[in-house]
Homo-oligomer: A and B are copies of this chain.
Amino acid sequence: MGTTRITAEPGMPFIDIEREFDAPRELLFRAHTDPELIAQWLGPAKYRMQVERLDVRDGGSWRFVHFDDRGNESGFRGVFHGEPSVDGILQTWEFEGFPGHVSLESLVFDERDGRTTLRIHAVYQSVEDRDGLIASGMEGGMNEGYARLDALVGRLARVA
């Protein structure tokens, strides 16, 4: 199974993420943009994920909600800058529990020999915002999500 590499240089407002998947980039793109697919993998395993809105186009917006066992909600939202495609996705990203602190993230799907490396470059409005997100434990939830995404695109690749 692949591992996720996270780079967060001290004192800079960036996070870089790199994760390889055993599937072509079309499937990675689909898993990021099809509401039924993204609900199956994004976020920590302990939450139920609901896609409230995912309007995949230039200027389209998205909103996802995670529910815990007791029904508590965590909302996330953003808009797409430019047309999302297999060449990449550029979007804003905001956790509604920390409103007004928004990041801009680019996702690139780099395919070689049928395997695809997902590269994310996220930039925050301050180093404090970036550090706060890392301190919140994003890494654990992301790893759980990518393990499920790995399994999902593996199943899709076998079906295709």
Report A's interface with B, CB cutoff 8 A: 12-14, 55, 58-61, 78-82, 90, 92, 94, 102-104, 106, 121, 123-125
Pair A102/B102 contact, Cβ less than 8 Å: no
A78 to B92 alpha-carbon distance, docked (Å): 11
Residues from chain B with a CB closer than 8 A to the CB of A106 are 102, 125
**Number of copies of this protein chain within its complex:** 2
A134 to B123 alpha-carbon distance, docked (Å): 19
Residues from chain B with a CB closer than 8 A to the CB of A14 are 13
A123 to B92 alpha-carbon distance, docked (Å): 12
A59 to B81 alpha-carbon distance, docked (Å): 9
Which B residue sits closest to A55, measured CB to CB? B59
Min CB distance A121 to B, Å, is 6
Pair A94/B79 contact, Cβ less than 8 Å: no
Residues from chain B with a CB closer than 8 A to the CB of A82 are 94, 102
